[in-house]
Amino acid sequence: MIFLKLVVQKYGGSSLASIERIKKITEKIVKTVKNGKKLIVVVSAMGKTTDKLVFLARRLSEKPNPRELDMLLSCGEQISAALLSIYLDRIGMKAVSLNAFQARILTTSDFNSARIKDIDDRKLRSLAFHNDVLLVTGFQGINENDELTTLGRGGSDTSAVAIAAKLGTICEIYSDVAGIYTTDPRIFPQAKKLSYITYDEMLEFSALGARVLHSRSVEIAKKYSVPIYCASSFSNEEGTWVMGKLPEWLERPVVTGATIEKNQVKVSVYSLKNSKATADVFRELAEKGFNVDMISLVSNSGDINLSFTIVESNSVDVQKAMRDLDCEIKITGGFSKVSIIGLGMKYQRGVAAKFFEVLRKKNIEPEMITTSEIKISCLVHEDKAEDLLKELCQVFGL
Amino acid sequence: MIFLKLVVQKYGGSSLASIERIKKITEKIVKTVKNGKKLIVVVSAMGKTTDKLVFLARRLSEKPNPRELDMLLSCGEQISAALLSIYLDRIGMKAVSLNAFQARILTTSDFNSARIKDIDDRKLRSLAFHNDVLLVTGFQGINENDELTTLGRGGSDTSAVAIAAKLGTICEIYSDVAGIYTTDPRIFPQAKKLSYITYDEMLEFSALGARVLHSRSVEIAKKYSVPIYCASSFSNEEGTWVMGKLPEWLERPVVTGATIEKNQVKVSVYSLKNSKATADVFRELAEKGFNVDMISLVSNSGDINLSFTIVESNSVDVQKAMRDLDCEIKITGGFSKVSIIGLGMKYQRGVAAKFFEVLRKKNIEPEMITTSEIKISCLVHEDKAEDLLKELCQVFGL
């Protein structure tokens, strides 16, 4: 096998939203090639293309056939791959675009939420050898019957990291966000950009709505130790490395970041007789496909007190789904979830105490609190949430 | 092999131009399925999609890389196939969309103007057996390296007829035109719709710009004896059959139709020394990819008088191409070509005489006249052309 200096880069939809932006991102691509690298560029669909295609499909059917929806949606990335390739060719690069058939990105048959099973790295290596840049359609794959599948929203990150994993290279993710920040700068303008973050911390960030990286892509990166570099498509500003371990010389902060997730609904369940009844609740919800987030359960000599959160858009359906169960429920909306995340919480005590001190000082009554090894999440009324986040950022120096 | 009552239908871009139209054309599809048929529906891109994609590509490159352009353009048909499939699924039909990879439409590698080499009819038959309707993307194919190709503008007709040829079925072509007319009804409103027309007549019609059927599709239909039925997508009005032979009982008209082709340019070549020099002219033009239409040559004892027509958009390039040849040329624009076509001309004399009589009566000076077995074409000044066409329609009862 010939040794190629391969790099995988991924460009998000907003970086490809217009002809001008498509031209602009090639600056980074050309620079990488001029540095002697062979490039595999994974692209998302241009701007709002996927939304527009979904909108067309919904006008024809409330629940579009999943296989056919994937046939439809996969066109978005093929259009941006071809356009980018046309421009690279125009400016003298040897560029070839590949869709999921051509790159042989094999997935499961779960239309709309397929998982990558394998990628033909020999074909990619051979094509990379003969060209400067391969443009590969993100977000999509094919199953064993050559049917098109898609990986779910944000799946292009997953495509890029999976290709990098298979080729043993790093993965650069470029978007309109210049890296990973300690918290959302729109809420807390003093938020700092992180130079490094671990996979585990990033997984909590993604799940909590930081939305810079699709969480499945981070899982794959973690599994195969793929270093991810997140940065801006249009500037040369330093971005953020997502890795397994922070560099040794780095002073490890206790709390790495804070997040806020809005539109949370709290479901409280009463009169549950035993743990079998509790299991029934979650089995019922899982079977109907609902995502349950925070779960809090306290049992006092047979008196089970269960609460969990769901997203607002599911609340009517969850109410229906639980109608057949032998329990009383109460659904209350208007909450936000505020969380702090940090690998350092594993090693340093007193973080929870500090957190409660902030709540007391701000006179905020928490509706629910859950914790993991590297995270504390707190459900509060939405009109208190931003204030809490800002105070937490102050206290933990974010 | 199981016997299936297979029918191929093709719907043009304007019949798929909106969500409402997509819903509307399914009426014909459902009716065909309810009549016990298995349907293969070949689709074009929605409305002006292909033009829009070409426009995007041109903003990135004056001459987009042909391979990449085909990657781009093939998305148009995939979108319409998926959308139509989504709606058919919604109204209870078993429908599956297939792109060129999935239908295994193998072509040559001539990007932008590929020719179909083979189609996997076993796969189509097997899928047709298990479904009500297969939606197949027209206009595209794959070469032996699994690269996407396209067949050139209007290529969806070719896809449909090629599939019908391979499966041994008839091919129904639906568009916003209700059939083949004796002449353009916009110019001569009394034009009649034909019930039948032969392949040879239709080939002359297509080449002369009647634009109802792509001429290559008629060539394939003729070669494999595929009956084509052209009719309106949205009405049940009788359309036109295009076949090898007219039915025996049909009274054969001498002239079947008349056409007009605008924007013609006449090239006159002087000082050609011999037939080698003439051959050089046409070889030069062919190598540069120009289409020469009418050719008229008269040689009087070594004095060669050559004229031919080209389309207006080529006139500057043709002038350049001929600069290196040892001859004088004169290029004059502002002409139209008016033709009458009819298989009956083979058997009945005096058609040319009638034609010249019309020219004399209308006081029109022809610039060039060429004839084939079933056609007479005449180049005239464009301001006389419509008048000539109308008079010819009157005289030949079109």
Average pLDDT score, chain B: 89
User: Is the CB of A146 less than 8 angstroms away from the CB of B102?
Assistant: yes
Cα(A65)–Cα(A55) distance, integer angstroms: 14
Mean pLDDT confidence for B105-122: 95
Structure tokens at B135: 């939606």
Q: How close is the nearest chain B Cα to the Cα of A168, in Å?
A: 26
Identity of the residue in A61, A79, A96 whose CB atom sits nearest the CB atom of B72: A79
Q: What pLDDT is stored for residue B209 in this prediction?
A: 53
Is B186 among the annotated ligand-binding positions? yes
Mean pLDDT confidence for B260-274: 84
Q: What pLDDT is stored for residue B272 in this prediction?
A: 77
Mean pLDDT confidence for B291-313: 79
The domain A6-243 having CATH identifier 3.40.1160.10: the answer here is: yes
- What is the number of CB-based contacts under 8 A between chain A and chain B? 115
pLDDT band at B208 (very low <50, low <70, confident <90, very high): low
Q: Which residues in chain B are closer than 8 Å to A87, comparing Cβ atoms?
A: 60-61
Is B77 among the annotated ligand-binding positions? yes
Write down the architecture of domain A257-395 according to CATH: 2-Layer Sandwich (3.30)
Burial A309-331 (b: 16+ CB within 10 A, else e): bbbeebbeebeebbeebebebee
Q: What pLDDT is stored for residue A1 in this prediction?
A: 47
| Nearest residue in chain A measured CA to CA from B102 | A146
Cβ of residue A106 closer than 8 Å to a chain B Cβ: no
Q: What is the pLDDT of residues B128-187, one digit of tens each?
A: 999 999 999 999 999 999 999 999 877 999 999 999 999 999 999 999 888 888 888 888
DSSP element (H, E) containing B232 = strand B228-232
Mutate: best of B16, B19, B56, B68, partner A, most A CBs <10 A: B68
Mean pLDDT confidence for B209-222: 82
Residues facing B335 on adjacent strands: B264, B381
Is B270 among the annotated ligand-binding positions? no
Cβ of residue A23 closer than 8 Å to a chain B Cβ: yes
Task: Find where tokens 């004892």 sit.
Answer: B301
User: Is the CB of B53 less than 8 angstroms away from the CB of A102?
Assistant: no
List, as ranges, residues 138-197 from B with C-beta within 8 Å of A: 146-148
Candidate ranges A105-114, B269-278, B303-312; pick with highest mean pLDDT = A105-114
Identity of the residue in A59, A86, A95 whose CB atom sits nearest the CB atom of B19: A59
Strand-strand pairing, A133-137 and A38-43: parallel
Cα(A126)–Cα(B312) distance, integer angstroms: 45
Cβ of residue B69 closer than 8 Å to a chain A Cβ: yes
Query: Which of A266-270, A367-371, B219-223, B249-253 is the least confident region?
Result: B249-253
| Nearest residue in chain A measured CA to CA from B95 | A68
Q: How close is the nearest chain B Cα to the Cα of A336, in Å?
A: 37
In 3-state terms chain A splits into helix, strand, coil percentages (rounded to 5) of 40, 30, 35
Identity of the residue in A71, A79, A82 whose CB atom sits nearest the CB atom of B82: A71
Question: CA B331, B335, B339 angle in degrees (round to 5)?
Answer: 125
| Nearest residue in chain A measured CA to CA from B53 | A79
Q: What pLDDT is stored for residue B77 in this prediction?
A: 97
Structure tokens at B227: 């009956």
Q: What pLDDT is stored for residue A388 in this prediction?
A: 93
Cβ of residue A319 closer than 8 Å to a chain B Cβ: no
Q: What is the pLDDT along chain A (398 residues), one digit of tens a residue?
A: 456 699 999 999 999 999 999 999 999 999 999 999 999 999 999 999 999 999 999 999 999 999 999 999 999 999 999 999 999 999 999 999 999 999 999 999 999 999 999 999 999 999 999 999 999 999 999 999 999 999 987 799 999 999 999 999 999 999 988 888 888 888 888 888 889 999 988 888 765 555 678 888 999 999 999 999 999 999 999 999 999 987 766 666 778 889 888 889 998 888 777 777 777 888 888 888 787 888 887 777 667 778 888 888 888 888 888 887 777 888 888 999 999 988 878 777 778 888 888 888 888 888 888 888 888 889 999 999 999 999 999 888 88
Mutate: best of B19, B29, B89, B146, partner A, most A CBs <10 A: B89
Q: What pLDDT is stored for residue A3 in this prediction?
A: 60
Q: How close is the nearest chain B Cα to the Cα of A47, in Å?
A: 14
Mean pLDDT confidence for B30-38: 94
Cβ of residue A57 closer than 8 Å to a chain B Cβ: yes
pLDDT band at B220 (very low <50, low <70, confident <90, very high): very high
Q: What pLDDT is stored for residue A211 in this prediction?
A: 67
Q: What pLDDT is stored for residue A250 in this prediction?
A: 65
Cα(B101)–Cα(A162) distance, integer angstroms: 23
| Number of CB atoms found within 10 A of residue B208's CB | 21
Residues in the annotated binding site of A for substrate: 50, 77
DSSP string, A25-78: HHHHHHHHHHTT-EEEEEE--STTHHHHHHHHHHHH-SS--HHHHHHHHHHHHH
Asked if A148 and A102 count as a contact pair (C-beta separation under 8 A), the reply is no
Asked if B268 and B330 count as a contact pair (C-beta separation under 8 A), the reply is yes
Asked if A56 and A119 count as a contact pair (C-beta separation under 8 A), the reply is no
Handedness of CA B204, B208, B212, B214 (dihedral sign): positive
Cβ of residue A99 closer than 8 Å to a chain B Cβ: yes
Identity of the residue in B68, B85, B102 whose CB atom sits nearest the CB atom of A68: B85
pLDDT band at B109 (very low <50, low <70, confident <90, very high): very high
Q: What pLDDT is stored for residue B1 in this prediction?
A: 47
Cβ of residue B90 closer than 8 Å to a chain A Cβ: yes
Domain ranges for chain B: 6-243, 257-395
Q: What pLDDT is stored for residue A346 in this prediction?
A: 73
Cβ of residue B106 closer than 8 Å to a chain A Cβ: no
